[in-house]
């Protein structure tokens, strides 16, 4: 993508020299306000993560644009990793480009800040009044009269007809007949009705020339997404919007004889909005004919393996049952298999481990590790663990049988049964002897008449009435319970906060492991679950407009709404640029919990 933004006839002047392994170059240290220039950061090794610099006082037209190069000279290999930005100064004065932060070979490295002097931009004759009113001559505010045939976005899909759960690749490209200098403010579709996943890493955009309907265009692929439809019917992928910086011929008159002679004002950089067209995908349900009873929604080309780490153990000891599903398909959407175990076996929720790659399509493996404890001795067989999925290549269901796993449970060491054995021994020893002399009873005791009978007594009448009282109470409670739970929407609304808190537990685990991308994904899943359950919005319809309508209808405060969408935007940004994410995860987690509590509190006060 760096080739897209090369500056013709400019030599880079080194402004901030090496900070260990990072160097920084700018195309000019002295620039005019609104004039675009390039800054490039170069490292001699590929970083594991990086944090973009602080561009306070600048407009960022494009970036980060990433490129890599490898050079072999005299048997010695050298690598370089470059990140560039196309920026322009917002105001006059002495400005500064902050340091770029990188983690290279486990070390934190930073570049040196770059000083920039911004001067007032030249104003063409007859436009002084507009300049004084605050209209700076920068690409974002210039004339954008460019036709839709000259610059547009094209979205293509690998297939327009597919099964539910089938992987579809979405590719988005920029087409321009003008000199494309960069792009910014990309608004991706929300993929309503789909689960989406982007490949790892930052896309490296390279411009190529493509002939479309007899016309040559500069074409750059800037995004690729893998989507999985989650409901049947006709689903729509909304248009993508991109602000493109292009260089076009200017209609302005030359300001002096030199520009007239050399053509200095013949071209100008402008910002135009490019849009793609809607894409419709027809989603079919998997066939009902021959559908296995144990089918759990797996679609693709999958493998299955079951194994136990022990097959002989003592009662009350534990063993692990590991189930691994691998291959290509909707692995992330698979639920944990349900086990059918002997009655004396206790099992717990499985530990789920994912090893999934998004490069060239979603593939990898998902492992479920169950902890199982047999309580009684004996010989047992674990069966009925077969796995069924819908094979896209064969267009039919495939069942992978699981081998029978024999478990031999030996008697325990006796510690767990010690109390029962002692109790049985005592029961045999405590026998009533036939002696006519008994122990003398000490303390207070109650006497009653010898002829008093239990029949028709108050205790007798109470015990007779007690079943009727309990039965009437049970019927009343049952009616109350049915009434409270008959409204499914109301039940989900009441339990929305508790469901969201359970999902936030996963986010807290990812936060403790400093796994930023997974953390932000779990936070957005928790918010989507809460909003969908609380306001009865299906997951496929969770758009910003629908959420805003419900929040306004429920009289949620504007500050709370802004806080909610800021959190959602931050998490969505983290999904598309995980390397550029910075901030305190603990603070994001706390703000999310407080946000849910604030909405609950405001709903109660309405």
CA–CA gap between residue 510 and residue 578 (Å, rounded) = 14
Given a cut of 60, whether residue 129 has pLDDT beyond it is no
CATH of the domain at 594: 1.20.120
Does one domain contain both 260 and 383?
no
pLDDT of residue 586: 82
In a domain, residue 437? The reply is no
Given a cut of 80, whether residue 596 has pLDDT beyond it is yes
- Out of 133, 163, 191, a domain closes at 133
Contact 304, 402 (CB under 8 A): yes
**Which of 58-62, 216-220, 236-240 shows the lowest mean pLDDT across its residues?**
58-62
Of residues 15 and 25, which shows the higher confidence score?
25
Does one domain contain both 106 and 163?
no
Does one domain contain both 117 and 233?
no
Of residues 554 and 364, which shows the higher confidence score?
364
The kind and range of the H/E element at 319 are strand 319-329
Per DSSP, which regions of 131-278 are E strands?
A: 151-157, 161-163, 168-176, 179-187, 194-197, 208-212, 215-229, 233-237, 241-249, 267-275
Does one domain contain both 556 and 520?
yes
pLDDT of residue 68: 67
**Which of 42-46, 322-326, 364-368, 472-476 shows the lowest mean pLDDT across its residues?**
42-46
Contact 521, 503 (CB under 8 A): no
Average pLDDT over residues 372-383: 91
Residues in the chain: 606
CA–CA gap between residue 78 and residue 429 (Å, rounded) = 88
Contact 346, 371 (CB under 8 A): no
For the stretch 473-525, pLDDT in tens is 888 888 877 776 665 556 665 676 777 777 788 888 888 888 877 888 888 88
CATH of the domain at 314: 2.60.40.740
Q: How confident is the model at residue 589 (pLDDT cuts 50, 70, 90)?
A: confident
In a domain, residue 448? The reply is no
In a domain, residue 74? The reply is yes
Question: What interhelical angle do 558-576 and 544-553 show, nearest 10?
Answer: 160
Q: How confident is the model at residue 312 (pLDDT cuts 50, 70, 90)?
A: very high
What is the count of structural domains for the chain? 5
pLDDT of residue 2: 39
In a domain, residue 449? The reply is no
Q: How confident is the model at residue 253 (pLDDT cuts 50, 70, 90)?
A: low
pLDDT of residue 348: 86
The residues facing 352 across adjacent strands are 368
Given a cut of 70, whether residue 411 has pLDDT beyond it is yes
Q: How confident is the model at residue 320 (pLDDT cuts 50, 70, 90)?
A: very high
Average pLDDT over residues 95-104: 88
The residues facing 381 across adjacent strands are 406
Of residues 20 and 587, which shows the higher confidence score?
587
Does one domain contain both 56 and 7?
yes
Average pLDDT over residues 410-418: 64
In a domain, residue 346? The reply is yes
Average pLDDT over residues 561-587: 72
Of residues 79 and 49, which shows the higher confidence score?
49
Contact 71, 78 (CB under 8 A): yes
In a domain, residue 392? The reply is yes
Does one domain contain both 498 and 474?
no
pLDDT over 90, % of the chain: 17
pLDDT of residue 431: 45
Q: What is the four-CA torsion angle of 515, 528, 173, 267, rounded to 10 degrees?
A: -90
Does one domain contain both 475 and 502?
no
In a domain, residue 146? The reply is no
For the stretch 22-57, pLDDT in tens is 888 887 888 888 777 888 888 878 787 888 888 888
Neighbours of 566 (CB within 10 A): 12
Given a cut of 70, whether residue 5 has pLDDT beyond it is no
Q: 26, 44, 108, 107: which is closest to 81 by C-alpha?
A: 44
3-state secondary structure of 284: strand
pLDDT of residue 424: 40
For the stretch 164-203, pLDDT in tens is 999 999 999 989 888 888 777 788 888 888 988 877 655 6
Does one domain contain both 123 and 173?
no
Does one domain contain both 273 and 339?
no
The residues facing 360 across adjacent strands are none
Average pLDDT over residues 570-579: 68
Does one domain contain both 115 and 190?
no
Q: 64, 23, 47: which is closest to 103 by C-alpha?
A: 47
Residue 359 lies in domain:
299-410
pLDDT over 70, % of the chain: 75
For the stretch 522-545, pLDDT in tens is 888 888 888 888 778 887 777 778
Quote the pTM value: 0.45
pLDDT of residue 480: 78
pLDDT of residue 549: 83
Residue-averaged pLDDT of the chain: 77
């Amino acid at each position: 993508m760096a080739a897209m933004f090369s500056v013709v006839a400019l030599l880079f002047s080194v402004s901030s020299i090496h900070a260990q392994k990072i160097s920084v170059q700018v195309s000019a240290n002295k620039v005019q306000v609104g004039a675009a220039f390039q800054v490039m950061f170069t490292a001699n090794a590929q970083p594991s993560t990086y944090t973009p610099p602080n561009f306070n006082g600048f407009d960022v037209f494009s970036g980060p644009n990433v490129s890599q190069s490898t050079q072999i000279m005299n048997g010695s290999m050298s690598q370089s990793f470059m990140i560039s930005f196309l920026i322009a100064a917002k105001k006059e004065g002495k400005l500064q480009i902050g340091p770029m932060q990188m983690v290279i070979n486990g070390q934190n490295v930073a570049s040196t800040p770059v000083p920039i002097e911004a001067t007032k931009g030249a104003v063409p004759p007859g436009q002084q009044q507009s300049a004084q009113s605050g209209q700076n001559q920068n690409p974002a505010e210039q004339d954008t009269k460019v036709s839709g045939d000259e610059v547009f976005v094209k979205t293509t899909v690998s297939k327009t007809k597919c099964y539910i759960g089938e992987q579809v690749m979405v590719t988005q490209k920029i087409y321009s007949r003008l000199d494309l200098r960069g792009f910014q403010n990309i608004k991706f579709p929300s993929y309503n009705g789909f689960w989406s996943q982007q490949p790892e890493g930052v896309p490296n955009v390279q411009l190529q020339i493509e002939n479309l309907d007899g016309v040559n265009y500069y074409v750059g692929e800037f995004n690729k997404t893998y989507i999985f439809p989650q409901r049947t019917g006709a689903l729509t992928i909304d248009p993508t919007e991109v602000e493109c910086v292009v260089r076009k011929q200017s209609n302005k008159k030359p300001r002096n004889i030199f520009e007239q002679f050399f053509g200095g004002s013949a071209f100008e950089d402008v910002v135009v909005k490019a849009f793609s067209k809607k894409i419709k995908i027809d989603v079919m349900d998997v066939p009902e004919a021959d559908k296995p009873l144990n089918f759990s929604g797996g679609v693709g080309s999958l493998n299955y393996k079951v194994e136990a780490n022990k097959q002989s153990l003592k009662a009350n000891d534990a063993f692990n049952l590991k189930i691994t599903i691998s291959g290509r398909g909707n692995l992330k959407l698979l639920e944990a298999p349900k086990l059918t175990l002997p009655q004396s076996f206790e099992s717990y929720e499985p530990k789920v481990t994912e090893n999934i790659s998004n490069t060239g399509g979603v593939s990898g493996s998902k492992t479920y590790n169950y902890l199982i404890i047999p309580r009684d001795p004996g010989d047992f067989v674990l069966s009925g663990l077969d796995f069924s999925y819908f094979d896209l290549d064969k267009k039919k269901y495939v069942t992978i049988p699981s081998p029978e796993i024999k478990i031999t449970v030996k008697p325990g060491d006796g510690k767990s049964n010690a109390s029962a054995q002692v109790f049985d021994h005592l029961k045999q020893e405590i026998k009533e002897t036939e002696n006519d002399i008994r122990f003398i009873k000490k303390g207070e005791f109650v006497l009653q008449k010898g002829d008093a009978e239990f029949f028709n007594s108050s205790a007798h009448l109470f015990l007779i009435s007690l079943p009727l009282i309990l039965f009437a109470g049970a019927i009343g409670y049952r009616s109350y319970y049915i009434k409270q739970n008959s409204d499914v929407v109301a039940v989900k609304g009441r339990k929305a906060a508790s469901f969201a808190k359970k999902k936030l537990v996963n986010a807290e685990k990812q936060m403790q492991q400093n796994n930023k991308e997974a953390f932000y994904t779990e936070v957005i899943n928790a918010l989507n679950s809460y909003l969908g359950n609380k306001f009865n919005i299906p997951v496929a319809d969770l758009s910003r407009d629908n959420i805003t309508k419900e929040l306004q209808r429920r009289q949620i405060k504007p500050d709370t709404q802004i806080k909610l969408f800021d959190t959602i935007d931050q998490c969505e940004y983290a999904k598309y640029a995980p390397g550029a994410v910075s901030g305190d995860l603990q603070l994001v987690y706390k703000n999310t919990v407080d946000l849910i509590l604030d909405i609950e509190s405001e709903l109660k006060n309405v």
